[in-house]
Each structure stands twice: as structure tokens, then as C-alpha cells.
Amino acid sequence: MTDVLLELDDVRKWFPLASDRLFRREREHVKAVDGVSLRVRAGETLGLVGETGSGKSTLARCMTRLHDVTSGRVIFDGVDITQMSQRDLRPVRREIQMIFQDPYGSLNPRRRVGSIIGDPYAIHGVGEGTDRKRRVQELMELVGLNPEHYNRFPAEFSGGQRQRIGVARALALRPRLIVCDEPVSALDVSIQAQIINLLADLQAEFNLTYVFIAHDLSVVRHVSDRVAVMYLGKIAEVADVESLHATPRHPYTAALLSAIPIPDPELSDRRERIILRGEVPSPINPPAGCRFHPRCPKAQDRCAGEEPALVSRNGDEEDHRAACHFPVQPGERLSAANGERP
């Protein structure tokens, strides 16, 4: 059996809406994360994909306890950390780190990178003076930055180098889990691969576990062992990366896969492109039943009334789970189901 490092059990994160309070008896909420159960195994990379607003960053912040959850449980290394006080969380915080999308926005422009990277040491009282400086310079070297640039400011670095600063800072306390929230989305394509390779090297060297968040499946495919697909605050499908690509079961996953560009024009012409109708509904009042039903090419009456559980079906591996009453069959053409031309 594989060790589970992080477990989410029916996690919800609802944000109360500030407006309308005086006029409504019941307060409305943005149901950003609405009942997510997931396991992250030690040493793996779990990819997390979904359209903008699907709740990926909110879920990331629940995992790292940057958000208190509305309900459900967060279990790290066998310990329930859901209600832990800030004080009790201190040792846990060393083990769980985050890397953010915007490598510039998350770095204070008026501070020198040496002290930025050394922040975790200052907060956790690790090393002092020259010892701390030496540790920071070792980290800079590890992530491919010139240690002599210790006294420079963030603006003196390129986008890719700034993300290396973010990586160094996340790595400072030798965490076990790093949640990477779109770490390469803001970077030039040519730089993206460098950062991804750096993350892969560090994972191997330090036996790290990653949750890797991205908008689409094309980046996630190359870095993940398993992938979870999010839609409107819920997990639509989760599977190892090969099964997800070979036999997507959830129509939403199939649509996301069909949107990945294929370089070969002949293959690309033959491939079905599934166009979803409509927009993502509001997470304030998500659709009843399966929340994908207003956009789903396979939707039937049952879908609007009964919420599908996230389970393994059709003889799939136990680990391949989809929340769909009518899972996609291999070779099935969904655009036909939709009444659209392929």
C-alpha cells in the first residue's frame, strides 16, 4: 500500500457574500470548494486542473491551512490538522509549502532576494547571521540562481529567475509537500520547461510530494502521476495520468482533452473537438444534481435530479473514479450526443 501524505475528507470552503445581508433571511455563499475528498500519496505529483473559478486555488489554500475550511477534514501525515491552532500548526507549516503563480506579485519589490529567501529561516528561527546567509546561498545555487546576487532586488531578475526565488523560498525548510499553484502559467513557454525540470529534479533529490495546479491538461500531463479534474468546486474525475488520457470517463474531462492542441495536422483533423455549450454557472447557486448537467452533451433526466458519486465504474481500476451517471465509453463520440457536428 502506498503511503497517503495528505488526505482531504469532504472539504467545503464557502465564502459568505457580503452584500444582500439585510434583505435576505438566508445568507448566500460562494461555494468555492463544495465537498472534495482526495488523497495525495507520498512522493507523487497530483495534477489539479479546471477552468478559472473552479476552486483550485481555494482548495490549495485549504490543503495548506492558509484557509480554515467550512466543513470536512484535512489530514496531513495521519494527523487531523483541520482545527489545529496556529501554534500547533507551526511544525506542520514547515512541512507544507506553496509556490504561487505570480512570481513577482508574491515578492516584496523593496526587499533583497537574500532576505526574501531567508524569511522562512527567520520565522522559524533557523540559523543566524553568516550561517543563515550561507544557507540561503546554498538554496540559490540549488535552484540555479547565482549566489552572488544575494543583495539584488526582485526587479533585477527575469520572470523565470523570480520563480526560482519562489521555489528556493518554498524549499528552505525542507518541506515534504509543495502545493504549486500554476507555477508556470505566467512564464514564457520557453521558460516553463526550465522551471518544470527544476521542480522535477528537486522532487527526485528531496523526495518531495507535489500538488501541481494548472488550467489545462497539456502541462499537467507531463508532470503528474495522477490527475484530478475540478468543476465548480467538486472533483469530476481522478485517475492516473495514462488512464485519464486513454479512457476519460467524465464528459467534462473528455472535453478538456479534446481541447489540447495536437501538432500533427492529420491527427488533429480526425480528432473530435467537443464544444461545451454555455458558460460555467455561478458557484453561488450551482445546478442541482450533477452540476455539469446544463453543459453536458450526455445529460439525461436523472442528471438534474441525482448527484453522481465519485466512484470507479465500468471495471476501471479502483483508483480511476468519475462523478458521472453515464460515463463515456471508449470511442464514443460526444459531439454527436450533443447534436453537433464533429
Ligand X SMILES: Nc1ncnc2c1ncn2[C@@H]1O[C@H](COP(=O)(O)OP(=O)(O)OP(=O)(O)O)[C@@H](O)[C@H]1O
Binding stretches for ligand X (CB under 6 A): 15, 30, 32, 50, 52-58, 215, 283
3-state secondary structure of 289: coil
Q: Residue 226: which of ligand SF4, ligand X, Mg ion, none does it interact with, CB under 5 to 8 A by kind? A: none
Is position 61 an interface residue for ligand SF4 (rule: CB under 6 A)? Answer: no
Give the Cα separation of 137 and 143 in Å (integer).
Answer: 10
The long-range contacts involving 243-246, CB below 8 angstroms and separated by at least 24 positions, are: 243/316, 243/317, 243/319, 243/320, 244/320, 245/217, 245/221, 246/330
Q: Give ∠ CA 178-165-193 in degrees, rounded to 5.
A: 70
Give the Cα separation of 301 and 78 in Å (integer).
Answer: 41
**x/- letters, 232..271, toward ligand SF4 (CB under 6 A):** ------------------xx--------------------
CB of 324 to ligand SF4, least distance (A): 3
Q: Residue 183: which of ligand X, Mg ion, ligand SF4, none does it interact with, CB under 5 to 8 A by kind? A: none
Q: Residue 82: which of ligand SF4, ligand X, Mg ion, none does it interact with, CB under 5 to 8 A by kind? A: none
Give the Cα separation of 238 and 226 in Å (integer).
Answer: 7
Position among 14, 32, 39, 57 found at the interface with Mg ion (CB under 5 A): 57
Q: Which H or E run contains 137? A: helix 129-142
Only one of the segments 5-13, 48-56, 273-281, 325-333 lies at the binding site for Mg ion (rule: CB under 5 A); that segment is: 48-56
Q: Burial of 285 by CB count in 10 Å (0-12 exposed, 13-18 middle, 19+ buried)?
A: exposed
Nearer to ligand SF4, 298 or 320 (CB): 298
Position among 61, 93, 226, 293 found at the interface with ligand SF4 (CB under 6 A): 293
